[in-house]
Structure 1
Amino acid sequence: MIEKRQFYIDGQWVNPAAPNDMDVIDPSTEDTCAVISLGDQADTDAAVAAAKAAFPSWAATPLEERVALIKRLGDIYTERREEMAEAMRIEMGAPIDLARANQWGAGSWHIAGFLEALEGFEFERAYGGVDRIRMEPIGVCALITPWNWPMNQVALKAIPAMAVGCTMILKPSEISPLSSVLFAEMVDQAGFPKGVFNMVNGDGVGVGTQLSSHPDVDMVSFTGSTRAGIAISKAAADTLKRVSLELGGKGANIIFADADEKAVKRGVIHCMQNTGQSCNAPTRMLVERSRYDQAVEEAKAAADATKVGQSAESGRHIGPVVSELQFNKIQGLIEIGIKEGATLLSGGLGRPEGMNKGYFVRPTVFADVTPDMTIYREEIFGPVLSIIPFDSEDEAIAMANDTVYGLTNYIQTQDDDKRLRVARSVRSGMVETNGVSRQQGSPFGGFKQSGNGREGGLWGLEEFCEVKAISGVPMA
């Protein structure tokens, strides 16, 4: 049994102010794999006080010294790769090969990306000949991260905050806390000054709300559900702190008749990656009518070929979803999809054949989905794909935009003019075309109820800065 009850506050591991144990469940086995403690107001206050006390000196620390510490942290993160992958495998069910490559790799990729972005980041800029613009750290930051891509989100928040001179309190998801505990160990090992980075485990209604409403927290950076993002915004309103949100999605994957032959299969694989637990997953496949029947067959074949297995096993299979609550939610939405008349092509209710334990979901594809159906509108956050036909470019754009979300849309066509035209017309913070991923440092974030912030690269650095204009002191 792994026991990780302590919090990292002011450069040391400390016991919680009051005992409040919580079991961490391995979703592959449904067994308790670890125990943590949930913090209360006293723990939150201590972490915020430590961050507040450390801010003046850390903000004044020369950039090269901050960069050197981040590089050291990156080296340690690489040295302890296997530990980190194993932590994410256990806590949220990522198959071990995915945990080593994608889950661990996302953190490494972002650390490198921010170090590169820092090389071209101007903390002081000339303006109009006699003014200068300064980018200054915003202050004490609360970083609230989700369970589905633990190190991706921790790196997207903690690294730029450290880099520009902010101090912080990390509250990871209580469902997948082990990787963040390990990250805190790495920060300590790297030798960051005490109080720069603090970590308190807790749930949303407890530590999450306490951080969001705390008068000494200058900014909240949150990734998670739209419902929780709204609650955090309300909690933060009384203190007028900055709130940066990366929330849910219901991405459309628009496949035109002239899309390449692998477009449908690629879309299914992308939807199922990480067991469908990605806010930017292409969960609505919109297919031009003349290619629709062929796409339905191809999607069924791709879903049928998707293997489900234990997180400890090597391979390209998908693992369980993260929790019993998530499993039940997905099962309920699959049942609603069937009742509302969508055509079930693959998968469906219950666990995959031969599995009677663990939160495993059958890779599921629905065809003939219509905009009035629940599965068309709600974020399922599981390995479930909906396929819908369209007849014209304008109709495809209208369908893609017919959602409260606006995170990532996808476009597949060999017509470059059409591809750019549609990309400009869809209402989302990101558009990926023809299977080409966005580049390192490209801004991640959405429109509408998908949030209001941008993470990654120069945009991610600016997110943690205040802008100060100074007149009459021109740049030399």
Structure 2
Amino acid sequence: MTEHITTVAGVAVDTRHWIGGERVASVETFTDVSPIDGSTLGEISRGTATEAEAAVAAARAAFPAWAATPRAERARILHAIADGVDKRIEDLANVETLDNGALLRSHRCGVMPRVAHNFRFFADWLLKLEHQDFATRGHTNHVSWDPAGPCVLITPWNAPLMLATWKVAPALAAGNTVILKPAEWSPLTASLLADIAAEAGLPAGVLNVVQGYGAEVGNPLVSHPDVRRISFTGSVPTARHIARAAAANLTPLSLELGGKSPLLVFADADLDLAVDLAVEQYDNAGQVCLAATRILVEETVSDEFTRRFVEKASRLRQGDPRDEATDLGPNIHPRQLEKIDGFVRRALGDGARAVIGGKRMDGLYYEPTLLTDVAQDSEIVQEEIFGPVLTLQIFGDEEEAVRLANDTRFGLAATLVTGDHERAERVTARLVAGTAWVNCFFVRDLRAPFGGSRHSGVGREGGTWSFDFYCDVKNTVTAPNGWHNHG
């Protein structure tokens, strides 16, 4: 068994799949590498259609009993999972930092506590989930949420465990069984989650974790006729592929995809606040789907905004994400770094100017970059980069600001900085975005709907919206005075 255990930051991680309550090894493996220093973290079981079929079969077999488990008991087990996460925050934080390169201090203080909160929130929401009965010509309408069945959840590498549990927790709370397929660039904490869930008493087969590449194990999962829901966070091209596969079985989809979000700074804004919010977009080395990578500034304050931005951004510290003083860690993978650098080199070749940054560094690090003199229809403005690269454009009035903000194929989020409450209401009403922030950024509440418009996604999750997706919502209509006492 020790051949399937890798030790990462002093933590033992099983590199096999978790299927039907047991560890399952594949014939082939793939190598998991740390973006911090290129060291090998482990040889991970590489799933195929065989493991996909086994995981779906396990989820299908476990579904009836889990769906029939009373709400209070499901909620109790989810709270027990949260307790397990809390006990292992340090382990989870250290492993995930080595696996995806994000800041250790963020994992320890923010991300992993949020993982536990995901389970607690949906456990509690389940217990109060209800719709008030209503009458139709004397008949009673009663709305209920029935578990749908096995769910395939495919998660990204930029916040692996937090984004996985954002899906896993409501799916389990709803009474479904789950096949979790983590990103192959950051699979380790999903394996630890399987251990934590088993220790918390989650029955075998209710949560299954299958590792590997999309083409080899993802395809047979999303095209399986016994899968009742698919939730995916990732790129638009992959989402199109998943949607085509799901269409054959009419499997409902929830897709949270890319973004090219704007940050609008008006002349009446608190410029210090605006600069703080703009520099915050470099968080996680720019590998955040919600990041406001297009900074739009009113012309009369653009010079002052740029001066303050450069001053603040120049103080950011890049380095080892395990160092508490580090602000930006590495990008996830050589392929991702090459993609980032390619975007910037082409933009500079087309006449853009790098106010700061503009080049790669040693290892997988890329300088925090701000590009100006960019055309609205240019690739650098229109396409998601997913790295520490921002653009700055100038607008003359509110109308132009809204036009520029909405002029991409995306619509995930938008941020607005202004001192005028009426302007904030006017502009946010016109912005195409699933989430709009006014004078703040990244304030998230699980009670709120989350998702994107246009090519940024399909559907909404969060609060009751998650249960609407992960359940078959039923309306039962009962006639008045229709009962006969046979006693």
TMscore range, shorter length: over 0.9
| Structure exhibiting the larger radius of gyration computed from Cα positions | 2
1:374 to 2:382 alignment: no
Matches of 2:114 and 2:234 in 1, distance apart?
17
1:444 to 2:454 alignment: no
1:303 to 2:309 alignment: no
Across the aligned residues of Structure 1 and Structure 2, the Cα RMSD in angstroms comes to: 1.7
What's the CA shift for 1:297?
1.3
Assess if the C-alpha contact under 8 Å between 1:406 and 1:428 holds in 2.
Answer: yes
What's the CA shift for 1:444?
1.5
The answer for unaligned runs of 5 or more in structure 1 is none
- Within 5 A, what are the aligned runs for 1:92-171? 92-122=100-130, 125-126=133-134, 128=136, 129-171=139-181
2:51 aligned residue? 43
Matches of 1:22 and 1:123 in 2, distance apart?
47
What amino acid does structure 1 have at the position aligned with 2:289?
Answer: C
What's the CA shift for 1:331?
0.7
Cα deviation, 1:67-102, whole Å, max 9, x if unaligned, reads 000000000000000111011101100121122123
Assess if the C-alpha contact under 8 Å between 1:249 and 1:280 holds in 2.
Answer: yes
2:466 aligned residue? 460
Assess if the C-alpha contact under 8 Å between 1:270 and 1:282 holds in 2.
Answer: no
What's the CA shift for 1:126?
4.3
Assess if the C-alpha contact under 8 Å between 2:34 and 2:98 holds in 1.
Answer: yes
Q: 289-298 or 299-308: which moved more?
A: 299-308
Matches of 2:176 and 2:258 in 1, distance apart?
27
1:204 aligned residue? 214
- Say which of 430, 435, 438 aligns to 1:425: 430
Task: Count the aligned residue pairs.
Answer: 469
Classify 1:236/1:127 alpha carbon distance in 2 versus 1 (closer, same or farther; 3 Å): farther
The residue matched to 1:134 in structure 2 has which SS? Answer: strand
- Say which of 27, 31, 51 aligns to 2:39: 31
Q: 113-122 or 331-340: which moved more?
A: 113-122
- Say which of 354, 364, 369 aligns to 1:359: 364
2:268 aligned residue? 258
The residue matched to 1:132 in structure 2 has which SS? Answer: strand
1:322 aligned residue? 332
Matches of 2:335 and 2:479 in 1, distance apart?
58
- Say which of 395, 406, 409 aligns to 2:400: 395
Assess if the C-alpha contact under 8 Å between 1:124 and 1:134 holds in 2.
Answer: no
- Say which of 331, 342, 351 aligns to 1:341: 351
2:62 aligned residue? 54
- Say which of 172, 184, 187 aligns to 2:194: 184
Matches of 2:177 and 2:475 in 1, distance apart?
23
What's the CA shift for 1:123?
7.0
Assess if the C-alpha contact under 8 Å between 1:156 and 1:460 holds in 2.
Answer: no
Matches of 1:443 and 1:270 in 2, distance apart?
23
Query: Relative contact order (alpha carbons < 8 A, sep ≥ 6): 1 or 2 greater?
Result: 1
Assess if the C-alpha contact under 8 Å between 1:257 and 1:288 holds in 2.
Answer: yes
The residue matched to 1:24 in structure 2 has which SS? Answer: strand
Cα deviation, 1:107-154, whole Å, max 9, x if unaligned, reads 133223323423431178545342222211111100000000112211
Assess if the C-alpha contact under 8 Å between 2:67 and 2:176 holds in 1.
Answer: yes
Matches of 2:51 and 2:317 in 1, distance apart?
43
* TM value normalised by structure 1: 0.95
Assess if the C-alpha contact under 8 Å between 1:268 and 1:302 holds in 2.
Answer: no
What's the CA shift for 1:343?
1.6
Cα deviation, 1:144-176, whole Å, max 9, x if unaligned, reads 000001122111110001101001100000110
> Which aligned segments of 4 or more residues in structure 1 are displaced greater than 6 angstroms?
none
- Say which of 473, 477, 481 aligns to 1:471: 477
* TM value normalised by structure 2: 0.93
Assess if the C-alpha contact under 8 Å between 2:151 and 2:177 holds in 1.
Answer: yes
